[in-house]
């Protein structure tokens, strides 16, 4: 048995591999999964740095990060009848997925979709749920709407492109490097803008949709939000779900001067201005939605159905043995990766 443990916030040196721990037993309505693969997300980096508010609220230190996993059912709690031991499954948990054994509610677990490996499935739940919620629950996108997606070649960005196309939207994706353009196009983006190829990427964004966008999805945070808001068309919605650019690349820990600078440049949205301009600002954090099991279950049913029908596809996966968890986080925080990174047990 192995799991990642972080005993105090900090850099990559805080990531420890703990062996021979005793996993908890599943209670009524829960199941124990023998994990074979677990997804890596930017939120896990924020957890390690001590910047993730829900980690402090629900867990504290020490903590095992990780929101998504795939593996085989090891044990059923009372009342769980829809699974059998040994069945391949994937699902989500509020922290703790970076472990060879994890307990979670049966409502948050689904059978392995046909045609997916466990490694591919481990990279599905968090990014597709993060994409599903703003598109279908918050903004309720409609066919023909114009959608702008930042970080479009990353995990959530790639899922957003595919689900926005399911909804019939016109999608403009923004990526940070030339090697990311092809993937965003392959996933269905109608227009892809490479920030590194433009002295002023916002001018290229304006040219892609001169009338603005009905929905803008921005996980960059900081000053990007002010620019994104001005690209929202009347009746449109800006969705905020992260603050990735407020953390410097490659350091492994926050730069407090940069964080303070970006915080000062983060807009404070006035309700008077929003009403006058007929624009909305919405925000969410997936880790605070775990009580909404019905929303998760509905979303996962739709996502699995689309996967099995070939209407969406799992993102390209790069795997790391769990012992190389620091390398996985370092790669993700570099900003150079595309698709999903996954730890294997």
Tens digit of pLDDT per residue, the chain (345 long)? 999 999 999 999 999 999 988 888 999 999 999 999 999 999 999 999 998 989 989 999 999 999 999 999 999 999 999 999 999 999 999 999 999 999 999 999 999 998 999 999 999 999 999 999 999 999 999 999 999 999 999 999 999 999 999 999 999 999 999 999 999 999 999 999 999 999 999 999 999 999 999 999 999 888 889 999 999 999 999 999 988 777 767 677 777 787 788 888 888 999 999 999 999 999 999 999 888 878 888 999 999 999 999 999 999 999 999 999 999 999 999 888 988 999 999
* Whether residue 330 sits in one domain with residue 274: no
* Whether residue 110 sits in one domain with residue 78: yes
The confidence score (pLDDT) of residue 242 equals: 83
* Whether residue 326 sits in one domain with residue 242: no
Using CB atoms within 10 Å of the CB of residue 12, give its burial: 0 to 12 exposed, 13 to 18 middle, 19+ buried: middle
- DSSP 8-state assignment for residue 134: I
CA distances from residue 173 to 66, 164, 183, 189, 190 in whole angstroms, order as listed: 27, 11, 11, 6, 8
Contact indicator for 21, 39 with CB cutoff of 8 Å: no
**342 three-state secondary structure:** strand
68 - beta bridge partners? 92
> pTM value?
0.92
The confidence score (pLDDT) of residue 248 equals: 67
- Where b means 16+ CB within 10 Å and e means fewer, 264-280 reads eebbebeeeeeeebebb
Q: What is the CA 151 to chain-centroid distance, rounded?
A: 11
Contact indicator for 95, 58 with CB cutoff of 8 Å: yes
Domain count, the chain: 2
Q: Cβ–Cβ contacts within 10 Å for residue 2, how many?
A: 17
- Structural domain boundaries enclosing 220: 127-286
**Which residues, including other chains, have CB under 8 Å from residue 86's CB and lie 6 or more apart?**
72, 73
- Where b means 16+ CB within 10 Å and e means fewer, 103-127 reads bbbbbbbbebbeebebbbbbbbbbb
* Whether residue 131 sits in one domain with residue 34: no
DSSP per position, 183-247: HHHHTT-SEEEEGGG-SSHHHHHHHH-TT-EEEEEE-S-TTHHHHHHHTEEEEEEEEE---GGGS
Q: In terms of Cα–Cα distance, which of 108, 141, 35, 167 is closest to 286?
A: 108
The confidence score (pLDDT) of residue 262 equals: 80
* Whether residue 228 sits in one domain with residue 97: no
* Whether residue 155 sits in one domain with residue 114: no
| CATH at residue 96 | 3.90.180.10
């Amino acid at each position: 048995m192995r799991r990642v443990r972080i005993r105090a916030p900090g850099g990559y040196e805080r990531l420890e591999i703990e062996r021979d721990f005793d996993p908890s037993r599943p209670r009524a309505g829960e199941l124990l999964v023998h994990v074979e693969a677990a997804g890596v997300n930017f939120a896990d980096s924020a957890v390690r740095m001590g910047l993730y508010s829900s980690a402090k609220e629900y867990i504290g230190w020490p903590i095992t990060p990780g929101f998504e996993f795939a593996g085989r059912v090891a044990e059923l709690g009372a009342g769980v009848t829809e699974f059998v031991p040994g069945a391949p499954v994937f699902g989500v948990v509020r922290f703790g997925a970076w472990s060879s054994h994890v307990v979670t509610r049966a409502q948050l677990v689904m059978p392995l979709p046909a045609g997916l490996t466990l490694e591919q499935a481990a990279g599905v739940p968090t990014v597709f749920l993060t994409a599903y919620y703003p598109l279908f629950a918050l903004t309720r996108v409609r066919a023909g709407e114009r959608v702008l997606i930042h970080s479009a070649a990353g995990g959530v960005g790639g899922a957003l492109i595919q689900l926005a196309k399911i909804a019939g939207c016109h999608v403009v994706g923004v990526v940070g490097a030339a090697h990311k353009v092809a993937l965003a196009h392959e996933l269905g983006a109608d227009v892809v803008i490479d920030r590194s190829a433009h002295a002023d990427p916002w001018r290229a964004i304006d040219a892609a949709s001169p009338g603005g966008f009905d929905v803008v999805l921005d996980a960059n945070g900081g000053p990007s939000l002010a620019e994104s808001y001005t690209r929202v068309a009347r009746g449109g919605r800006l969705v905020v779900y992260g603050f990735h650019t407020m953390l410097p690349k490659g350091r492994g820990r926050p730069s407090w001067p940069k964080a303070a600078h970006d915080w000062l440049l983060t807009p404070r949205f006035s309700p008077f201005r929003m009403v006058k301009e007929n624009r909305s600002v919405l925000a969410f954090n997936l880790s605070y939605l775990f009580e909404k099991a019905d929303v998760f279950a509905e979303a996962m049913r739709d996502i699995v159905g689309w996967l099995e029908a070939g209407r969406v596809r799992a993102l390209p996966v790069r795997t790391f043995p769990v012992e190389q968890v620091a390398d996985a986080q370092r790669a993700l925080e570099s900003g150079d990766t595309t698709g999903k990174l996954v730890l294997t047990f």
